[in-house]
Amino acid sequence: MWVMVGLLAWGLVMVYSASIALPDNPKFARYAHTFFLQRHAMFLVLAFVVGLLTFQVPVAAWERWAPWLFVLALLLLVVVLIPQIGKGVNGARRWIVFGPLSFQPSELAKFAVLLYAADYMVRKMEVKEKFFRAVLPMAVAVAVVGLLLLAEPDMGAFLVIAVIAMGILFLGGVNARMFFLIAAVMTVAFVLMIALSEWRRERIFAYLDPWSEKHALGKGYQLSHSLIAIGRGEIFGVGLGGSVEKLHWLPEAHTDFLLAVIGEEFGLVGVITVIALFLWMTRRIMHIGRQAIALDRVFAGLVAQGVGIWIGFQAFINMGVNLGALPTKGLTLPLMSYGGSAVLMNVVAIAVVLRIDHENRTLMKGGRA
């Protein structure tokens, strides 16, 4: 809990630092310098309120609601593709607008698929060794979600959802050969999606050589400036607010590349601290899941471990991109980056884990969950 609060608070400070110069850009000229700070603070308050309400919900209720949440997520993924409803930004239609606010259905889809996969494994526990009765239907469900996400397009969210679902299948005990077969098929599918898309291929080439004349001002621009920011920070950083790269050099500094600004302002020490906090939190979440399974609460255990996979994997991808270890991918740093939908669903997911932990402790004391 306190690690989550610490990451959220640090994220708020860094969002302000990384976005303070954005109103100098004509695109954001109508905004005050504190616009993103105020908006992100509002998101955090909303997330805390919803998180507190979520904590009051028994885990058994989520098990009952899982199929319906999955259907709701599918409907929203369809609705966002309707031009009159879905908001398009930079060629991607990923947001549904509600007055001054917008919501990203792909964030709800991550949570919904997680719950559905856990509920599915509990229902299919007796036939989990059967490919056509257990593994294939779940793979088809994930593929349907993936097709809708690719239509936006949002390959990053699809990748996270696929890993969440596959992780829950594996932890749920499906046949190892079937699991690796599906994993291999999905890997080939992702490789083909990259190979058959010119702009995705260009991203890979830019990742391999971001400093080349061809890519330095194109697909490799973000990566090269992310590396410059981290390099400038050296060991202890240039100090809070002292980043130069956030001054219109590094695009999306307050969202996808927040870690680069942390690296510039807090140095290697800051980056290692962020990594350590995410490692500790992921490890703790996975432990809560194992504890629930030991108490014969399979659904609760799989949900907790699914949240651990979600937070840990997405943080790993974001950090890898910022540090130049992975190709550029539009995924935010959980709990820290600017973005209302992502922060809201991250807090809701962790609130469910805290509820699971609460019920585990109650059972171990001889009470009822």
Of residues 239 and 199, which shows the higher confidence score?
A: 239
- Both tokens of 74, joined, read 């599918």
CB contact at 8 A, 324 and 256: no
Rounded CA separation 279/274 (Å): 9
Share of the chain above pLDDT 90, in %: 66
248: alpha, beta or left? (left if phi > 0; alpha if psi -120 to 50): left
Q: For the chain, what is the mean pLDDT?
A: 91
Chain segment 295-321, per-residue pLDDT in tens: 999 999 999 999 999 999 999 999 999
- Least confident span in 79-93, 131-145, 316-330: 79-93
Look at residue 29 in the predicted model and tell me its pLDDT.
59
CB contact at 8 A, 124 and 133: yes
Look at residue 342 in the predicted model and tell me its pLDDT.
96
- Both tokens of 166, joined, read 């596959």
pTM: 0.94
Of residues 176 and 69, which shows the higher confidence score?
A: 69
- Both tokens of 243, joined, read 């980043």
Q: Which of 331, 323, 321 is nearest to 204 (CA)?
A: 321
CB contact at 8 A, 150 and 193: yes
Look at residue 122 in the predicted model and tell me its pLDDT.
93
Look at residue 282 in the predicted model and tell me its pLDDT.
98
Residue 265 three-state SS: helix
Chain segment 6-43, per-residue pLDDT in tens: 999 999 999 999 998 887 776 665 777 888 999 999 99
Please, what is the angle between helix 105-123 and helix 136-150, to 10°?
Answer: 180
Look at residue 135 in the predicted model and tell me its pLDDT.
83
Per-residue pLDDT at 99 exceeds 80: no
Q: Cβ-count burial of 197 within 10 angstroms (0-12 exposed, 13-18 middle, 19+ buried)?
A: middle
Chain segment 195-228, per-residue pLDDT in tens: 888 888 888 888 888 888 777 777 888 999 999 9
Name residue, tokens 């219109």: 248
Cα–Cα distances in Å, from 287 out to 282, 335, 361?
9, 20, 13
Look at residue 26 in the predicted model and tell me its pLDDT.
65
58 secondary structure, DSSP code: -
Chain segment 166-204, per-residue pLDDT in tens: 999 999 988 888 888 888 888 898 888 888 888 888 888
